[in-house]
Amino acid sequence: MQTEEKKIEKKYTHATECPITIFMEEIGGKWKPVIIWLLLKNKTMRFNELDKNIKGISQRMLSQQLKDLEQLEIIIRKSYPVIPPKVEYSLTEKGKSLAPLLKAIKSWTYSNIM
């Protein structure tokens, strides 16, 4: 318990040391939470399905966001050797572990902003 209290008392000299800032830089933003939320709801989606369900995102931006999430091991990209190419995206266990957090944010938003 004492070490936990010391962690809480730590003063951050730079915002980049704060775990919340790190989270927001890696997974926050305009598109990544939406992608994660859609994959939580739909389990597996193809690129075109994600593109159709996210209004305002360019295909280039969607591709980059998916690559970032794959690199963070939040999603899995599975490609099939068929013509035309078929690629599916789904959440890893690490990605699925974001569900309670995103549900809490959704609930807080409805209670405090909307």
Whole-structure pTM value: 0.84
Q: Longest Cα pair distance anywhere in the chain, in angstroms? A: 59
Give per-residue pLDDT as tens, 12-69. 777 777 888 889 999 999 999 999 999 999 999 999 999 999 999 999 999 999 999 9
Q: What is the CATH number of domain 2-112?
A: 1.10.10.10
Sketch the domain layout of the chain as residue ranges.
Answer: 2-112
**What is the predicted pLDDT for the residue at 114?**
86
pLDDT of residue 32: 98
What amino acid occupies position 5? Answer: E
Nearest in space to 33 (alpha carbons), one of 82, 105, 93, 89: 105
Residue-wise pLDDT tens digits, 69-95: 999 999 999 999 999 889 999 999 999
Please state, for a pLDDT cut of 70, what percent of the chain lies above it.
Answer: 90
Alpha-carbon gap, residue 30 to 13, rounded angstroms: 27
